[in-house]
């Protein structure tokens, strides 16, 4: 049964294969006759043939033919020409041949000059070291070590490299007991005031404190010379730094023990192999006399050791020179300050009000920094000008202005001027005032009242369009101190003060009227008022 | 005599038509480089088409076509005139395609992610794609040994004999492979049978 089924399957498969070839027109002879006969009697095969033909058609139509390539022949010919020429053949093998020849040459060369690579490496290393060891300066200049820094270095093994970036050098011991150093940019830093706390704990009096300061200070130069930095971000560390670390600690401990043994033993109860001053001196001198020939260079590219002799003598000389220069600069600065103060006092002495204040000279402050110098006037008694509360007025006016359509202030020619203020279609103001022939005032007044008020910006910076109010008057208060010497200005100041008082009264009146107007709301108000200036 | 001469003149174009490729090859062997160019012009589109179909319209198709003709150029002097020039040419073409596909497969071993991405790239979507594209993608999925004879037959119109010579196998093998290719194609396209058989 199973065999029959298998046979049927095989026959069916053969029929289908023949049918496929028939559809391709590839049958002939017996096979062709056989298929044609079966097709006649089998609708299934007919259907199958139909499907095959459809599939063939789909396959044919699905094809995407390549886009035309008009340069195909020319590219082919070019390739053929380049490949067939002897030059091209050589060119093809040239890289391999060149590398081969180079390898052979190097092998022979290195056989007879075995040390050449080491020499090159050494030379490059020296060049690199030379580049990074240029202009090395003690860290002292760069980080400005304090006594507390030195104290922290001795006891906490941490030395600040860059206070701004909080970079510090940490000396430590690995689990194997080997010294190491780290350059850290974050992490634990000794708390501020550790040195002060030590001094307090040891109950040091001021003389003893000074003595300890001098001990720490004595290491400053030395410590600075162990750590060198330059503008290429190089940090050169002398391995002797570890010795200094121990020597400073020993020195301080020995000194502290001698100064106040009781307190010291409270602080450090464990019996340590403490040194007395004599053997500490020996250690310190020994440490100071060690001149390690190699510095450890930490550069942005690499870390390496290199022989480097730092000339302490030259450093001291340079420091002295710099100190001299700074002193001379300081003297010059003091002189300049003195002159400036004198000039200011002279020029300001003309101002009667200020001159009355005899403490003026002492209230003057000059700050100098690298960018500029600044004269602070905070302590100078600046004549106080009492000003009305313009903020309040402005707020009121703003509220009132909401109801205004337009404000026309007409100033007819003549001694008596009438000012008309229209509030809205129903309300209007009329007020007269006498102006003793001030034409500039006439030009000024037609401005809208609200814009007039906006011109008065009194928030700290006293700015006023005063020139139109008083002819020939030109001042800006914010930098008016320069003009204090001006006699004319002082007269104008007085005038201005008078005018300001007058103006304030006017404004107060106007405000009252406006408030009244607001209260009355739609009631028409006529105000006649004379304003004297 | 005169009649005989006329008869000879009539025969000449017929011979030229039949053995045109052969005469061009002879001219090339005799040192006429332009004969090779004529051969290239005559057969390049067929060669490019076969490569294009078998390399799935790869950008490398034209480079492979150039390689085919360079191989022809280098070996043409050794051509033995035992089969049609086209049979020889197609065999070289198919071999170059196989070489290229082999290289791509090796390259894909070293960049398997790209390969798997390429496989995943085909997501049949009847609504958004045309029938031709679906069939093209289905043909791509056939193994090389089934796809090449199928495309040579149904698209390039080569006879079983030509395909057998080009692929260096028996006619029966070609017949069987083409049948199996069609069966495979129908299986792949089964989900779209209704749309395709309209």
Give A234-260 as a 3 state SS string: CEEECCCHHHHHHHHHHHHHHHHHHHC
pLDDT (tens digit, 9 = 90+) per residue, A396-427?
556 555 554 444 444 444 444 444 444 444 44
For B152, the closest chain A residue by CA position comes to: A60
Nearest to B197 among A26, A51, A69 (CB): A51
Residue A182 has pLDDT above 60, yes or no: yes
For A20, the closest chain B residue by CA position comes to: B179
List the structure tokens of A324.
């001299």
d(CA A231, CA B91): 72
Say whether A64 and B150 touch across the interface (CB within 8 A): no
Q: Which of the 8 DSSP states describes residue A382?
A: P
**Measured between CA atoms, how close is B93 to chain A, in angstroms?**
15
**Measured between CA atoms, how close is A28 to chain B, in angstroms?**
13
Average pLDDT, chain A: 68
Say whether B154 and A17 touch across the interface (CB within 8 A): no
pLDDT at B181: 92
d(CA B63, CA B47): 12
- Chain B residues in contact with A65 (beta carbon < 8 A): 49, 52
Say whether A75 and B66 touch across the interface (CB within 8 A): yes
How many CB pairs below 8 A link A and B?
89
Q: Which of the 8 DSSP states describes residue A181?
A: E
A370-379 contacts at long range (C-beta below 8 A, 24 or more positions apart): A375/A340, A375/A344, A377/A481
pLDDT (tens digit, 9 = 90+) per residue, A490-514?
788 888 888 888 888 888 888 888 8
List the structure tokens of A89.
């053949």
List the structure tokens of A166.
């909080």
Say whether A20 and B57 touch across the interface (CB within 8 A): no
pLDDT at A276: 63
Strand partners, A445: none
Say whether A62 and B139 touch across the interface (CB within 8 A): yes
pLDDT at A348: 55
Say whether B66 and A83 touch across the interface (CB within 8 A): no
For A77, the closest chain B residue by CA position comes to: B37
Say whether A20 and B182 touch across the interface (CB within 8 A): yes
pLDDT at B33: 80
Say whether B131 and A62 touch across the interface (CB within 8 A): yes
d(CA A353, CA A382): 10
**Measured between CA atoms, how close is A11 to chain B, in angstroms?**
14
Say whether A60 and B136 touch across the interface (CB within 8 A): no
Interface residue A62 vs chain B (CB under 8 A): yes
Say whether A66 and B48 touch across the interface (CB within 8 A): yes
The stretch A267-281 carries a mean pLDDT of: 62
Cβ neighbours for A364, distance < 8 A, ≥ 6 positions apart? A341, A344, A375, A379, A380
Nearest to A55 among B40, B73, B182 (CB): B182
Segment among A28-42, A305-319, B165-179 with least mean pLDDT: A305-319
d(CA B59, CA B75): 26
- Please report the residues numbered 94 through 123 in chain B whose beta carbons come closer than 8 angstroms to any beta carbon of chain A: none
Most confident of A61-70, A132-141, A270-279: A61-70
Higher-confidence residue: A444 or B31?
B31
pLDDT at B121: 38
pLDDT (tens digit, 9 = 90+) per residue, A225-268?
777 777 777 777 777 777 787 778 878 877 877 777 777 776 66
Higher-confidence residue: A139 or A198?
A198
Residue A183 in 3-state DSSP?
A: strand
HSE of B50, CA atoms in CB hemisphere, 13 A: 31
Higher-confidence residue: A193 or A95?
A95
pLDDT (tens digit, 9 = 90+) per residue, B71-108?
988 888 888 887 788 888 888 998 888 888 888 878 77
Cβ neighbours for B181, distance < 8 A, ≥ 6 positions apart? B142, B146, B147, B149, B150
Q: How many CB atoms lie within 10 A of CB A154?
A: 23
Interface residue B69 vs chain A (CB under 8 A): yes
The stretch A8-19 carries a mean pLDDT of: 77
Residue A103 has pLDDT above 90, yes or no: yes
Contact A294, A305 (CB under 8 A): yes
d(CA B50, CA A207): 103
Contact A425, A523 (CB under 8 A): no
Calculate what percentage of chain B has a pLDDT beyond 90: 8
Calculate what percentage of chain A has a pLDDT beyond 90: 2
Nearest to A21 among B44, B61, B175 (CB): B175
**Measured between CA atoms, how close is B167 to chain A, in angstroms?**
17
Cβ neighbours for A465, distance < 8 A, ≥ 6 positions apart? A444, A455
A-interface mutation test, from B55, B66, B68, most A Cβ less than 10 A away: B66
Q: Give the start-to-end residue ranges of the domains of chain A.
A: 2-52, 95-132, 135-310, 318-376, 390-520
Strands A227-229 and A137-138: antiparallel
Say whether A63 and B136 touch across the interface (CB within 8 A): yes
Say whether A80 and B73 touch across the interface (CB within 8 A): yes
| Domains of chain B, start order | 1-111 (1.10.1740.10), 122-198 (1.10.10.10)
pLDDT at A256: 79
How large is the greatest C-alpha to C-alpha distance in chain A, in angstroms?
140
**Measured between CA atoms, how close is A107 to chain B, in angstroms?**
35
pLDDT at A104: 94
Task: Give the per-residue SS3 of B105-141.
Answer: HHHHHHCHHHHHHHHHCCCCCHHHCCHHHHHHHHHHC
For A61, the closest chain B residue by CA position comes to: B132
The stretch B20-29 carries a mean pLDDT of: 84
Average pLDDT, chain B: 77
- Report, in angstroms and rounded to the nearest whole number, the Rg of chain A calculated over CA atoms: 50
Higher-confidence residue: A522 or A177?
A177
Higher-confidence residue: A265 or A7?
A265
- Chain B residues in contact with A21 (beta carbon < 8 A): 160, 175, 178-179
For A47, the closest chain B residue by CA position comes to: B197
Strands A235-237 and A158-162: unpaired
List the structure tokens of A377.
């006037």
H or E element, residue A417: strand A416-422
List the structure tokens of A352.
């009667």
ipTM computed for the complex: 0.77
- Chain A residues in contact with B48 (beta carbon < 8 A): 66, 69, 72
Interface residue B43 vs chain A (CB under 8 A): no
Residue A445 has pLDDT above 60, yes or no: no
Say whether B135 and A62 touch across the interface (CB within 8 A): yes
Say whether B182 and A63 touch across the interface (CB within 8 A): no
pLDDT band at A440 (very low <50, low <70, confident <90, very high): very low
Question: Counting every residue, how long is chain B?
Answer: 198
Phi, psi of A436 (to 5 degrees): -75, 75
Question: What is the pTM (predicted TM-score) of this model?
Answer: 0.39
d(CA A23, CA B86): 24
For A65, the closest chain B residue by CA position comes to: B49
Nearest to A62 among B65, B69, B132 (CB): B132
Higher-confidence residue: A247 or A460?
A247
**Measured between CA atoms, how close is B117 to chain A, in angstroms?**
23
Contact A280, A250 (CB under 8 A): yes
């Amino acid at each position: 049964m199973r065999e029959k089924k298998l046979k049927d399957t095989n026959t069916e498969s053969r029929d289908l294969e023949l049918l496929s070839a028939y559809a391709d027109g590839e049958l002939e002879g017996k096979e062709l006759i056989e298929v044609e006969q079966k097709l006649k009697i089998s609708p299934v095969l007919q259907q199958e043939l139909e499907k095959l033909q459809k599939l063939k058609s789909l396959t044919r139509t699905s094809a995407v033919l390549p886009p035309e390539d008009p340069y195909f022949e020319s590219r082919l010919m070019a390739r053929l020409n380049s490949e067939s020429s002897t030059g091209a053949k050589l060119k093809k093998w040239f890289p391999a041949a060149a590398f081969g020849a180079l390898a052979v040459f190097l092998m022979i060369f290195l056989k007879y000059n075995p040390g050449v690579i080491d020499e090159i490496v050494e030379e490059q290393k020296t060049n690199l070291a030379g580049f990074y060891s240029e202009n090395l300066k003690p860290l002292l200049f760069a980080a400005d070590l304090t006594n507390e820094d030195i104290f922290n270095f001795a006891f906490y093994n941490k030395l600040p490299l860059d206070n701004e970036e909080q970079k510090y050098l940490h000396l430590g011991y690995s689990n194997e007991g080997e010294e190491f150093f780290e350059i850290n940019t974050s992490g634990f830093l000794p708390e501020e005031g550790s040195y002060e706390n030590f001094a307090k704990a040891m109950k040091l009096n001021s003389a003893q404190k000074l003595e300890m300061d001098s001990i720490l200070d004595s290491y400053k130069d030395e410590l600075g010379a162990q750590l060198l930095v330059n503008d290429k971000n190089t940090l050169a560390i002398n391995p002797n730094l570890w010795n200094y670390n121990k020597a400073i600690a020993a020195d301080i401990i020995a000194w502290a023990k001698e100064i106040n043994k009781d307190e010291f033993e409270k602080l450090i109860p464990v019996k340590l192999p403490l040194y007395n001053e004599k053997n500490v001196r020996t250690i310190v001198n020994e440490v100071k006399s060690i001149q390690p020939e190699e510095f450890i260079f930490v550069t942005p590219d690499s870390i390496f050791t290199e022989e480097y002799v730092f000339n302490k003598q030259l450093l001291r000389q340079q420091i002295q020179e710099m100190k001299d220069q700074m002193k001379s600069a300081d003297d010059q600065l003091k002189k300049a300050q003195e002159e400036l103060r004198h000039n200011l006092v002279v020029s300001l002495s003309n101002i009667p009000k200020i001159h009355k204040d005899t403490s003026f000279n002492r209230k003057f402050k000059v700050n100098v920094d690298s960018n500029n110098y600044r004269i602070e006037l905070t302590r100078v008694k600046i004549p106080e000008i009492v000003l009305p509360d313009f903020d309040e007025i402005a707020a009121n006016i703003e509220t009132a202005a909401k109801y205004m359509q337009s404000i026309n202030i007409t100033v007819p020619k003549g001694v008596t001027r009438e000012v008309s203020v229209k509030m809205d279609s129903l309300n209007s103001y009329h007020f007269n005032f006498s102006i003793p022939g001030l034409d500039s005032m006439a030009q000024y007044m037609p401005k809208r009242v609200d814009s007039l008020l906006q011109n008065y910006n009194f928030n700290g910076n006293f700015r006023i369009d005063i020139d139109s109010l008083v002819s020939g008057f030109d001042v800006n208060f914010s930098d008016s101190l320069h003009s204090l010497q001006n006699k004319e200005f002082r007269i104008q100041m007085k005038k201005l003060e008078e005018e300001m008082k007058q103006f304030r009264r006017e404004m107060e009146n106007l405000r009252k009227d406006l408030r009244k107007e607001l209260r009355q709301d739609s009631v028409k108000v006529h105000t006649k008022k004379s304003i004297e200036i | 005599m005169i009649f005989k001469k006329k008869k000879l003149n009539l025969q000449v174009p017929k011979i030229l038509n039949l053995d045109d490729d052969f005469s061009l090859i002879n001219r090339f062997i005799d040192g006429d480089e332009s004969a090779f160019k004529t051969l290239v012009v005559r057969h390049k589109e067929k060669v490019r088409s076969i490569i294009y179909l078998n390399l799935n319209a790869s950008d490398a198709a034209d480079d492979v076509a150039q390689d085919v003709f360079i191989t022809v150029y280098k070996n043409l002097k050794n051509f033995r005139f035992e089969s049609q020039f086209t049979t020889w040419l197609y065999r070289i073409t198919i071999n170059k395609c196989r070489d290229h596909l082999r290289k791509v497969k090796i390259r894909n071993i070293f960049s398997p992610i790209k390969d798997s991405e390429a496989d995943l790239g085909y997501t049949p979507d009847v609504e958004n794609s045309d029938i031709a594209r679906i069939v093209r993608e289905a043909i791509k999925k056939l193994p090389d040994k089934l796809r090449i004879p199928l495309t040579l037959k149904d698209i390039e119109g080569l006879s079983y004999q030509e395909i057998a010579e080009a692929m260096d196998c028996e006619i029966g093998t070609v017949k069987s492979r083409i049948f199996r290719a069609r069966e495979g194609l129908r299986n792949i396209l089964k989900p779209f049978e209704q749309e395709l058989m309209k």
